[in-house]
Amino acid sequence: MSKSNKFLAVFSVDLEILTMISVFRHFQTTTNLILLSMAVSDLLVGLAVMPLMIVTLDSCRCVSSFLCFLFDLFCYILTSASVGNMVLISVDRYVAICYPLRYSSIKPSTVKICVSVCWVIAIIYNLILLKDNLLHINFSSSCNKKCPLYMNYILSIADIIITFYGPLTVIIVLYARVFVVAVTQARAMRSQVSTAGSKTVSAMKSELRAARTLGVIILFFLICFFPYYISSLIGQDLSDEASAGQTLLFFSNSAINPIIYAFFYPWFRKTVKLLLSCKFLVIMNSEKWAEK
């Protein structure tokens, strides 16, 4: 399979996630709405960032300052949105595992508001952050061998702390708490299987499985993002090849997420089969009929 076919396969999974959660109401759970936001971010990386990255990293081509600005803007917005989604996932699992009664009262509309706020903040914050780059757009000059980033060192360090290390601290603290409570609950389930109701045990197991899967997503997120933010923090100068490899690893996270969905979520695999058959239209019509 060629690289282009692999990218098409990966990003078709994102489209399938968007379709499933948007069309089927029973998939619109609090956790899945956050996954929907992540799928949008991953899809935009493939549709907008990757083509711009190919153009801007090609040293044999001249790149306009406007394309450079678009590349930086999309990168920063989608990165901030992805980090925000990871924080929302951590909060979601923290409340679900540690406060299950409170979690059951959270409405999908509340999660939609949180996701929307996450995207709005990402857009406004990065437009302000990159305002100097916007001012340096020169439409009369259309040839730049490299895309310059107009940001002083202090501001860039503050940005790294705000958009990565701060959220990373929140994620680690919340998931550490989730891990401790999950271990306690697993032991309790083993010792009280006979006394606890089957529905209660099943619900607890479901939440623990979700915590494990989302923990895997966060782990791969950190593996892909950490090298970039470490080198940015220490101000290390990299060769063009190392920088390109680091950037590729950074954005490969968007290709890894759909693979995790397909591997860990049985409902996802089953629904993909429905999407590839005529049963999809039948189920969609039945849901619309039920709503009436």
Domains and CATH numbers, the chain: 3-285 (1.20.1070.10)
pLDDT at 149 exceeding the cut of 50 = yes
pLDDT at 199 exceeding the cut of 50 = yes
State the pLDDT at residue 88.
Answer: 93
| Of 67 and 36, the one with more pLDDT | 36
Residue 192: pLDDT band by 50, 70, 90 thresholds? low
Residue 288: pLDDT band by 50, 70, 90 thresholds? very low
State the pLDDT at residue 77.
Answer: 93
**Residues ≥6 apart with Cβ < 8 Å to 177:** 94, 98
State the pLDDT at residue 122.
Answer: 95
Average pLDDT score over residue span 82-102 = 89
State the pLDDT at residue 114.
Answer: 95
Residue 272: pLDDT band by 50, 70, 90 thresholds? low
Share of residues in the chain with pLDDT > 90 (%)? 12
Grouping H, G, I as helix, E, B as strand and the rest as coil, residue 195 is coil
Residue 189: pLDDT band by 50, 70, 90 thresholds? low
What is the Cα–Cα distance from 35 to 14, expressed in whole angstroms?
10
pLDDT digit string (tens) for 16-45? 677 777 766 767 788 888 888 888 888 888
pLDDT at 183 exceeding the cut of 80 = no
Share of residues in the chain with pLDDT > 70 (%)? 65
Average pLDDT score over residue span 41-67 = 71
Mean pLDDT score of the chain: 76
State the pLDDT at residue 110.
Answer: 93
Kindly report the pTM of this predicted structure: 0.79
What is the Cα–Cα distance from 180 to 177, expressed in whole angstroms?
5
Range in 33-37, 60-64, 70-74, 219-223 the model is least confident about: 60-64
What DSSP letter does each residue of 136-175 carry, written as one string?
T--TT---BSS------HHHHHHHHIIIIIHHHHHHHHHH
State the pLDDT at residue 249.
Answer: 81
pLDDT at 218 exceeding the cut of 70 = yes
pLDDT at 222 exceeding the cut of 70 = yes
State the pLDDT at residue 292.
Answer: 36
235 and 217 Cβ atoms separated by less than 8 Å: no
Per DSSP, what are the bridge partners of residue 144?
Answer: 63
Average pLDDT score over residue span 3-11 = 55
Q: What are phi and psi of 99, to 5 degrees?
A: -135, 65
pLDDT at 55 exceeding the cut of 70 = no
